[in-house]
Amino acid sequence: MRRTRHLLAGLALTAGLLAGAVPATAAPTAAPTPDAPMATTAVASSYTWKNVRIDGGGFVPGIVFNRAEKDLVYARTDIGGVYRWNQAGSSWTPLLDSVDWDHWGHTGVVGLASDTVDPDRVYAAVGTYTNDWDPGNGAVLRSADRGATWQRTDLPFKLGGNMPGRGMGERLAVDPHKNSVLYLGAPSGNGLWRSTDSGATWSKVTTFTNPGDFQQDPADTSGYNSDEQGIVWVTFDESTGTAGTATRTIYVGVGDKENAVYRSTDAGATWTRLPGQPTGYLAHKGVLDAANGHLYLAYSDRAGPYDGGKGQVWRYATATGEWKNISPVAEADTFHGFSGLTVDRQKPGTVMVSGYSAWWPDTQIFRSTDSGSTWTKAWDYTSYPTRANRYTMDVSSVPWLSWGANPAPPEQTPKLGWMTEALEIDPFDSNRMMYGTGATIYGTQELTKWDTGTNFTIRPMVKGLEETAVLDLASPPSGAPLISALGDIGGFRHTDLTTVPSMMFTSPNFTSTTSLDYAETNPNTVVRSGNLDGGPRVAFSTDNGANWFAGQEPSGVTGGGTVAAAADGSRFVWSPDGTAGVHTATGYGTAWTASTGIPAGATVESDRVDPKTFYGFKDGTFYASTDGGASFTARATGLPAKGNARFKAVPGKKGDIWFAGGATDATYGLWHSTDGGAGFTRASGVEQADTIGFGKAAPGATYPALYTSAKIGGVRGVFRSTDAGASWVRINDDAHQWGWTGGAITGDPRVYGRVYVSTNGRGIIYGDTTETGGGDGGTDPTDPPDPTDPPAPTGACKVAYKVTNQWQGGFQADVTLTNTSTTAWTGWKLGWEYPAGQRIGQMWNATPAQTGSAVTARNVGWNGPVAAGASASFGFTGTWAGTNPVPAAFTLGGATCSVA
């Protein structure tokens, strides 16, 4: 459905990500850095941070089940970090939110390994680009508490979590018998690397001499497609080792079409090319069925994840050396490569593989129960173009996965998938399978119905995994609290921040929405611009973004650029990509007139009071128009001419403008103008700033609260000012940094303290504060009163508190609150004290707050009403040190509940 994930690489250049580079090292080994601990104590305890729910939205190239502990599952994303599966909540917990601005590239994950000897240990190989889009080197992160905290070892080379070939793997592997030994396959000619101290230090395996020479496109001068894929997977044969002794036989996949598979039989001391192997293809995956002595290999003629026109599947007998082509279809009939390889550990001989690059009409998944001798397909033709599916797609939990499409057969919606390079059968449950696509994780818990010819259901298994790249945000004064512009999936109108919207923007459906705006005094009027092959690339709404219609566009438009709506919605100014230049239109884009006095490619915004005043900026010069965008005049100069540049006008104050931008090797900071851009004054103390947004004024204040992603006082973070920029307070903390947050930011004009923060791969984050006037639970404030903030319930209550999972330093708990009175509740807020310093982490189905040892959990909108005799449940993760006793008492509305 979408093929544009690789275009997000451009953010590294266009969005000014070159700030804060990680120094490269030239040493042949990699050692821990002095700042290895990544998680620190929060410094903004009044704020809680959550994702605006979209569920998915990006490519999931890797899913890893731990083979020693049931339900311990991890997922890696190409730009959005690592997640751990939460079985109780059927959701994912993000694990790399502590990645800071200076190491933003570490949100790209190219390899993931879960330790079977010590399941508390997990490892991630991180780094987003191997070319100069990412100035920093890669690293290996290691955790002894399932990703709650991490330590980092910097590498002397780059890694490419968002590069071609990122769906191959896994490149990172832990020895299943001697877990202090790990291997890492490196790109760019850097070869195979090994650690013998649980990932703390790394050195190159000098006896492994083939670093891999395959390049997607050797002629690509950007370095993106011309980089060498390198070593692409490592697989241990667990049958050749015993506990505490290094596994003797190891297989390694190499990005070399003539020499794709190597083996060591002496625990990695020496290596040989596996004799008799097929040539002419890349081995995307190598999965070993030790019970039957079979190494399965999925081959493609390209590195993926987008391309691949031919492929094969082979089986290697580890005892005899026999190779057998077990391809599900003849090579002549393939139009895709193979990847997504998995075996059923409960039923040796059952193997599955995906045709990952079968874009049209759909991806294909193949299954064999006889070690690849025969295969069945997830779907087939009865008579073209009619399809018979073995499965039913149920996307009711994430309805936008249908894309609002109505395709002609044989294409269907929702699709089975695309870019399906991650495909895994649960090693403890033959019925459960998960697979990644370009937009979500799908799965089933009825997989064995496949073998009986019974239809089984596939559903999204993606709750909590938020992977969108956010390009623009708007929070109007009425209507929906949030309207977003996103890469790859266009954007959404959120009427409830805690609910997945039914559909992204359609009519038209942009591949990426690059800019959006609403009319300040008429918020039902909304405009957006974006990218779409062939256009149209501008769209309008007259109902606050609920429905859209396309506008016309001038000649020369190649992309969305930026767009602005007049304060009253009477006209629009558009600065698209391409040669068209800046244009203005009255009405809804039926006829555009070229603006004068402003260069093509300028960023445009509107004054929030005067409908005829618009502003523009490019290359250090600020422009203004007082005739509705027909003509612009240069006003201020001396602003940053290099790097990021974003500015906004303050609602309700004509000519009041804030400007953020710059680059580390040039002018960089935050500026303020009160005369329509004729003059700007630099905000003192703000060393760097990349975004600026406005929210509801603090109690007693008249000027809107300001929000920025900036460096102030030597500290990078998200900051708020309630006194027009005279002073700033950091409102995020070191555990909530989300890598790069320089795309967009806005406060909420209706909820004091609420702020929406853009990320590049972790979706939309929003923060609420416990300060006076703070958050209301996430729903549209124009709706009826929210049941998350009710009068305190009265009557009896009972609480069941259960620790469902515990590991060193961390735990997971479920709480059930029962209304034992005779009166229904309209909402609830449960409180307790922790006796041993425990701290709440992420909570689901309730909103947490913690001050010292005191914790409260308040209902979310949908589970506030609790009938007499009924219950409400929620869960959370937390941290502990020393002991983790259960709270002795719980209170509701000042009354003590009984404890089950």
Closest by Cα among 445, 444, 505 to 471:
505
Mean pLDDT score, 366-395: 98
Interacting residues of 333 by C-beta distance below 8 A, sequence separation 6+: none
| Residues 6+ positions from 874 with CB-CB distance below 8 Å | 814, 815, 817, 843, 844, 845, 846, 857, 863
Q: For residues 742 and 247, what is the distance between their CA atoms, to the nearest angstrom?
A: 45
- Predicted confidence (pLDDT) at residue 131 exceeds the cutoff of 50: yes
Compute the average pLDDT of residues 562-582: 98
> For 725-778, what is each residue's pLDDT tens digit?
999 999 999 999 999 999 999 999 999 999 999 999 999 999 999 887 655 434
Q: Residue 93 in contact with residue 844, Cβ under 8 Å?
A: no
The predicted-structure confidence for 282-339, as pLDDT tens digits, reads as follows: 999 999 999 999 999 999 999 999 999 999 999 999 999 999 999 999 999 999 999 9
Closest CA to 858 of 866, 874, 847, 845: 847
Average pLDDT over every residue of 4-30: 34
Residue 629's nearest CA partner among 569, 691, 586, 672 is: 586
3-state secondary structure (DSSP) of residue 727: coil
Pick the residue with more confidence: 837 or 753?
753
For residues 329-343, b (16+ Cβ closer than 10 Å) or e, as one string?
Answer: beeeebebbbbbbbb
Give catalytic status of residue 488 as yes or no: yes
Average pLDDT of the chain is 92
> What is residue 12's predicted lDDT score, i.e. its pLDDT?
35
Strand order in the sheet with 172-174: 29-30, 202-204, 192-195, 182-185, 172-174
Helices H / strands E in the chain, number of each: 2, 70
Residue 41 has pLDDT above 80, yes or no: no
Closest of 515, 511, 549 to residue 531, by C-alpha: 511
Residue 120 appears among annotated catalytic residues: no
Phi, psi of 101, deg, nearest 5: -55, -45
With 50 as the cut, is the pLDDT of residue 21 above it? no
From 26-40, 571-585, 836-850, the region with the lowest mean pLDDT: 26-40
Please state, for a pLDDT cut of 90, what percent of the chain lies above it: 84
pLDDT for residue 884:
92
| Size of the chain, expressed as the number of residues it contains | 900
Q: Which of 399, 358, 396 is nearest to 380 (CA)?
A: 358
Active-site residue identified among 115, 175, 488, 733: 488
The predicted model scores a pTM of 0.84
Rounded to whole angstroms, the Cα distance separating 26 from 322 reads: 43
- Whether the predicted pLDDT of 441 surpasses 50: yes
Q: Judging by beta carbons within 10 Å of its beta carbon (0-12, 13-18, 19+), is residue 555 exposed, middle or buried?
A: exposed
**Of the candidates 435, 426, 395, 432, which has an alpha carbon nearest to the alpha carbon of residue 412?**
395
Query: For residues 756 and 473, is the Cβ–Cβ distance under 8 A?
Result: yes
Those residues with Cβ within 8 angstroms of residue 663's Cβ, 6 or more apart along the chain or in another chain:
16, 18, 19, 640, 642, 643, 644
* pLDDT at residue 34, rounded to an integer: 41
Helix, strand, coil percentages for the chain (3-state, nearest 5) = 5, 40, 55
Exposed (0-12), middle (13-18) or buried (19+): which is 546, by Cβ within 10 Å?
Answer: middle
Question: How many alpha carbons fall within 13 Å on the CB side of residue 715?
Answer: 13
pLDDT per residue as tens digits for the range 484-516: 999 999 999 999 999 999 999 999 999 999 999
Average pLDDT of the residues in 101-117: 98
| DSSP string for 436-452 | E-SS-EEEES-TTHHHH
pLDDT of 39 over the 50 cut: no
Residue 470 has pLDDT above 60, yes or no: yes
What's the CA gap between 443 and 92, in Å, rounded?
A: 14
- For residues 862-896, b (16+ Cβ closer than 10 Å) or e, as one string? ebbbbeeeebbbbbbbbbbeeebeebeebbbbeee
State the pLDDT confidence band at 44, using cuts at 50, 70 and 90. Answer: low
* Contact between 635 and 677 (Cβ < 8 Å): yes
More confidently predicted of 873 and 677: 677
Stretch 718-724: mean pLDDT: 96
Predicted confidence at residue 30, as pLDDT, reads 64
Q: What is the pLDDT of residue 783?
A: 33
What's the distance, Cα to Cα, between the start and end of the chain in Å?
Answer: 50
- Closest Cα to residue 704, out of 733, 740, 734, 745? 745
User: What's residue 882's pLDDT?
Assistant: 84
206-237 pLDDT per residue, tens:
999 999 999 999 999 999 999 999 999 999 99
In angstroms, the CA 71 to CA 804 distance is 12
Distance between CA atoms of 456 and 465, rounded to whole angstroms? 24
Distance from chain centroid for Cα 30: 28
Give φ, ψ of 321 to 5 degrees: 80, 10
Supply the pLDDT for residue 40.
27
Out of 78, 134, 256, 362, the active site residue is 78
Rg, the chain, Cα only: 28
CB contact at 8 A, 350 and 431: no
Rounded to whole angstroms, the Cα distance separating 713 from 711 reads 7
Q: At residue 859, does pLDDT exceed 50? A: yes
CB 716 within 8 A of CB 704: no
pLDDT digits (tens, 9 = 90+) for 618-662: 999 999 999 999 999 999 999 999 999 999 999 999 999 999 999
Q: pLDDT at position 277, please? A: 98
Summarised one tens digit per residue, pLDDT across range 776-832 is 434 333 333 334 445 567 668 999 999 988 877 788 899 999 999 988 998 999 999
pLDDT for position 2 = 35
Residue 43 has pLDDT above 50, yes or no: no
DSSP secondary structure letter of residue 12:
H
47 — pLDDT class (breaks 50, 70, 90)? very high
Q: How many CB atoms lie within 10 A of CB 410?
A: 14
Sign of the Cα torsion 8, 14, 15, 17 reads positive
**Which pLDDT score, from 0 to 100, does residue 5 have?**
39
Distance CA 423, CA 52 (A): 27
Give tens-digit pLDDT for 72-97. 999 999 999 999 999 999 999 999 99
Q: What angle do CA 880, 886, 889 make, to 5 degrees?
A: 130
